């Protein structure tokens, strides 16, 4: 092997651990902290050599299932594992890019000589939380349950129109992109089915996946009693599955410590360079809904920094909370729809533990590279297609001096992004559709349509389509690509805009 320089400054992944908890009752189920501890121990066993006990850098992905644990996770993990890290941080929120951000930060710390052994860990126990809440309700216990409030601290215009969660918002990107990609609804759904069916196949053969049941393309895109519509055009099998109890952890250390511990070269995975950028936190503050300057900036720069192309990526993880994310990402890096895009199984089938999915993906990527291939690309996305962070894991030795590296490419993303139209909270007059969706109740019936439109002077507005406007709802559900740019009117009634077609 060529001289790589000081091995104490070369970050490598040497341990991975994952856990699924399937309790019979809420009382039996682990909470988020318990899952994090179990996953950390599993990663320590994988690394061997007492590495875990020597952790001096701790990165924890925040969680939502047990809000009372937020702010206590570092102490809880440290006490349980008998570690005393000199540096520890809990991410402010559980966004999907958090695990990759922490891996990149850990690699920087090792490259600077500021850390020796880093543990990155996270978990969610929404299955336990939900069971405990249901059991308390059945017992007549006065308990609100462990779930956090979903009411935002500050209301944005979108909240008045039912766009409260990612499930409500991501279809806006899907419908806009379908038109931009030149696809019919049938073609777009076929692409979704192909990608998601492929992910279900991976999950069916991954021991750490939550749903190990392969689905056909038709089963994924066709609305049925088992696959109810959520928000047009997405059905249950096309959205992230958060009702899981899952934890994952990875251990990053220096090449010097890995060698001292006697870890075989085949089990040592080098950390490559990463690139990050983000959009505005408000998902309606975008120049358009069919592309993302920050996504493209993150992916393109990660490839450039590591001097690779899509052709030499052996293993790939494209974040998959909703189909539009890997659809956009694959077009940026140039891979076909039939390409395997996950190592874990995607957030529908592998599992969707809120912000910690990519720790599972990194653990699976580590395991895969130990078996075959050279390069594994991890693309993470968080928020409302907001936060993007891409990084390489590789069997190619990375020389000392690779880290620390500046992974912040925000300035470049901002320069590439177009102007954002001004949002009008109230608008009465003509407008043309930018994008839209229809939100459904649990019984499969439309609750309302939502239209994002531009006025004749290029400003943006948002409007509702009432569920009893059956003609307009049917038009939205028809999926005609000509709806993007279709003319209509919004009219402000009682503080909300109502949409009607010309």
CATH code, domain carrying 471: 2.40.50.840
Of 392, 416, 440, the position where a domain reaches its end is: 416
Count the domains in the chain. Answer: 2
- For residues 280 and 409, membership in a common domain is answered with yes
Exposure string for 141-162, b = 16+ CB within 10 A, e = fewer: eeeeebeeeeeeeeebbbeebb
Domain boundary at 384, 416, 448, which?
416
- State how far the alpha carbon of 175 is from the alpha carbons of 182, 244, 292, 446, in Å: 11, 28, 15, 17
Q: Indicate if 497 and 362 belong to the same structural domain.
A: no
404 & 319 share domain: yes
205 lies in some domain: no
Q: How far is CA 289 from CA 180, 185, 384, 404, in A?
A: 9, 17, 11, 34
CA dihedral 163, 169, 173, 179 (to 10 degrees): -50
Instruction: Return per-residue pLDDT of the chain as tens, 502 residues.
Output: 578 999 999 999 999 999 999 999 999 999 999 999 999 999 999 998 899 999 999 999 999 999 999 999 999 999 999 999 999 999 999 999 999 999 999 999 999 999 999 999 999 999 999 999 999 988 887 555 454 455 566 778 899 999 999 999 999 999 999 999 999 999 999 999 999 999 999 999 999 999 999 999 999 999 999 999 999 999 999 999 999 999 999 999 999 999 999 999 999 999 999 999 999 999 999 999 999 999 999 999 999 999 999 999 999 999 999 999 999 999 999 999 999 999 999 999 999 999 999 999 999 999 999 999 999 999 999 999 999 999 999 999 999 999 999 999 999 999 999 999 999 999 999 999 999 999 999 999 999 999 999 999 999 999 999 999 999 999 999 988 789 999 999 999 999 999 999 8
- CA-CA-CA-CA torsion for 175, 176, 181, 183, nearest 10 degrees? 30
Residue 183 lies in a domain: no
Where among 358, 388, 416 does a domain terminate?
416
Q: Does residue 383 sit in the same domain as residue 493?
A: no
Q: Is 378 in the same domain as 399?
A: yes
Burial class (CB in 10 A: 0-12, 13-18, 19+), 491: middle
Q: What are phi and psi of 394, to 5 degrees?
A: -150, 155
| Within-domain flag for 406 | yes
Q: What is this structure's pTM?
A: 0.96
Q: Are 401 and 429 contained in the same domain?
A: no
Between CA 60 and CA 123 the distance in angstroms is 9
H/E segment holding residue 125: strand 117-125
Question: 61 lies in a domain?
Answer: yes
Same domain, 388 and 461: no
- Please report, for the domain that includes residue 13, its CATH number: 3.40.47.10
Of the candidates 5, 2, 1, 78, the residue with the CA atom closest to the CA atom of residue 254: 5
Instruction: Say whether both 363 and 484 belong to one domain.
Output: no
Structure tokens at 469: 């406007």
What is the DSSP annotation of 455-471?
ETTS-EEEEEEETT-HH
* Enclosing domain of residue 485: 423-501
């Amino acid at each position: 092997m060529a001289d790589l320089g000081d091995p104490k400054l070369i970050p490598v992944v040497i341990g991975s651990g994952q856990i699924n908890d399937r309790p019979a009752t809420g009382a039996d189920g682990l909470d988020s902290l318990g899952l994090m501890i179990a996953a950390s121990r599993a990663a320590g066993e994988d690394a061997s050599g007492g590495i875990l006990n020597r952790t001096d850098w701790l990165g924890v992905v925040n969680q939502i299932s047990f809000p009372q644990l937020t702010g206590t996770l570092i102490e809880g993990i440290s006490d349980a594992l008998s570690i005393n890290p000199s540096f520890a941080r809990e991410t402010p929120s559980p966004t999907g890019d958090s695990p990759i951000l922490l891996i990149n930060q850990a690699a920087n710390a090792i490259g600077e000589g500021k850390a020796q052994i880093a543990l990155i860990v996270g978990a969610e126990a929404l299955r336990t939380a939900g069971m405990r809440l249901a059991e308390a309700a059945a017992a007549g216990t006065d308990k609100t349950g462990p779930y956090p409030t979903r009411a935002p601290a500050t209301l944005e215009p979108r909240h008045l129109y039912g766009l409260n969660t990612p499930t409500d918002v991501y279809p806006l990107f899907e419908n806009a992109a379908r038109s931009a990609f030149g696809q019919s609804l049938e073609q777009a759904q076929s692409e979704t089915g192909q990608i998601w069916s492929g992910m279900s196949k991976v999950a069916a053969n991954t021991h750490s996946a939550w749903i190990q049941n392969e689905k056909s393309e038709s089963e994924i895109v066709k609305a049925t009693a088992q696959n109810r519509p959520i928000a047009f055009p997405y059905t249950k099998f096309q959205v992230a599955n958060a009702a899981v109890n899952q934890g994952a952890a990875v251990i990053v250390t220096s090449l010097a410590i890995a060698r001292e511990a006697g870890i075989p070269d085949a089990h040592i995975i080098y950390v490559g360079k990463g690139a990050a950028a983000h959009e505005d936190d408000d998902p309606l503050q975008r120049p358009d809904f069919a592309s993302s300057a920050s996504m493209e900036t993150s992916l393109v720069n990660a490839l450039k920094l590591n001097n690779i192309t899509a052709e030499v990526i052996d293993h790939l993880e494209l974040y998959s909370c909703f189909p539009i994310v890997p659809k956009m990402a694959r077009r940026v890096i140039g891979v076909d729809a039939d390409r395997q895009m996950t190592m874990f199984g995607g957030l529908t089938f592998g599992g969707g533990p809120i912000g910690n999915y990519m720790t599972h993906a990194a653990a699976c990527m580590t395991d895969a590279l130990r078996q075959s291939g050279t390069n594994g690309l991890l693309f993470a996305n968080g928020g409302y297609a907001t936060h993007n962070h891409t990084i390489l894991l590789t069997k190619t030795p990375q020389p000392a001096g690779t880290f620390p590296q500046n992974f912040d490419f925000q300035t470049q993303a901002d320069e590439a992004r177009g102007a954002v139209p001004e949002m009008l909270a109230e608008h009465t007059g003509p407008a043309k559709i930018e994008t839209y969706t229809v939100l459904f109740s649990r019984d499969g019936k439309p609750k309302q349509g939502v239209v994002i439109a531009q006025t004749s002077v290029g400003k943006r507005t948002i409007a509702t389509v009432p569920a009893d406007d059956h003609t307009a709802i049917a038009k939205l559900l028809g999926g005609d690509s000509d709806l993007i740019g279709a003319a209509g009117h919004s009219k402000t009634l009682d503080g909300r805009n109502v949409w009607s077609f010309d």
